[in-house]
Amino acid sequence: MKCHNIQKRLSAYQDGELDPREQEQVRGHLLSCRACREQFAELERVWQTLEGLEQVHPDPWFYRQVVRKIKEPRERGLLPTLQQVFRLSRVPVAVSIILIIGLLAGTYLGSILARCDLFPFFQSNAVSDSLGVLTSMRVFDPAPPGTLAEGYYRMVSY
């Protein structure tokens, strides 16, 4: 086997996962090839380094805690679900609240402005005057007077 193929199998060789024939081939190659040997040594060094990861020891009351959790299904089952629902719905609820507040504030402000003199348009007299003008101009007619539509309408009706 060539170095390229050997290097691809070095990890499995290290883990003892090659079949005996292949294992022997890689071993033989490592004896004769310095570059592959160095690469394998590097893998071994990393493997050794991982030894340094500390081990965690369970508390003496580990089993008791497990049993307590099992025997409190209601507390554990319901509360986390509610908490989860609350956590997931936080953003939509916040957006809805902001929208509702915005709508209420807008309505409230609108009613205040309609009552004060700052914007005469909002006052009821001003609105009815404007409506009167628009009605007298017959702008809501299907063919208001003096428009091209009225011309066509007359031609058709003759």
Partner 1 sequence: MDILPPSEELMARIARGDEDAFEILVNRHQTSILNLVYRFIGDRTQAKDLAQEVFMRVWQSAKSYEPKAKFTTWIYRITANLCFNELKSARRKKWFSFNWSDEDGEHTFEETLSDNAPSAEDLLLEKERSRQISDALQSLPDNQRMALVLKRYDDLSYQEIAQVIGCSVSAVESLLVRAKRTLQEKLKNYEK
3-state secondary structure of 144: coil
Nearest Cα neighbor of 24 from 9, 4, 8 is 9
Which of 91, 133, 148, 155: binder of partner 1 (CB under 8 A)?
Answer: 91
Buried-exposed string 1-37: b where 16+ CB fall within 10 A, e elsewhere? eeeeebbebbeebeeeebeeeeeebbeebbeebeebe
Nearer to partner 1, 64 or 115 (CB): 64
With respect to partner 1, which residue has the nearer C-beta, 49 or 128?
49
Residue type, 136: S
- Using CB under 8 A, which of 1, 33, 43, 143 touches partner 1? 43
Minimum distance of partner 1 from residue 55's CB (angstroms):
6
Which of 32/49 has CB closer to partner 1? 49
Q: What Rg value do the Cα atoms of the chain yield, rounded?
A: 42
Q: What is the residue-wise DSSP string for 89-118? A: THHHHHHHHHHHHHHHHHHHHHHHHHHSTT
- For residues 5 and 17, what is the distance between their CA atoms, to the nearest angstrom? 16
| Interaction of residue 15 with partner 1, rule CB under 8 A | yes
118 contacts partner 1 (rule: CB under 8 A): no
The CB-of-106 to partner 1 minimum distance in angstroms stands at 29
- Compose the 58-87 pattern: x for residues touching partner 1 by CB under 8 A, - for all others: xx--xx-xxx-xx----------------x
CB of 37 to partner 1, least distance (A): 15
Q: How far apart are CA 64 and CA 73, in angstroms?
A: 15
* Total of residues contacting partner 1 (CB under 8 A): 30
Residues that bind partner 1 (CB under 8 A): 8, 11-12, 15, 17, 42-43, 45-47, 49-50, 52-59, 62-63, 65-67, 69-70, 87, 90-91
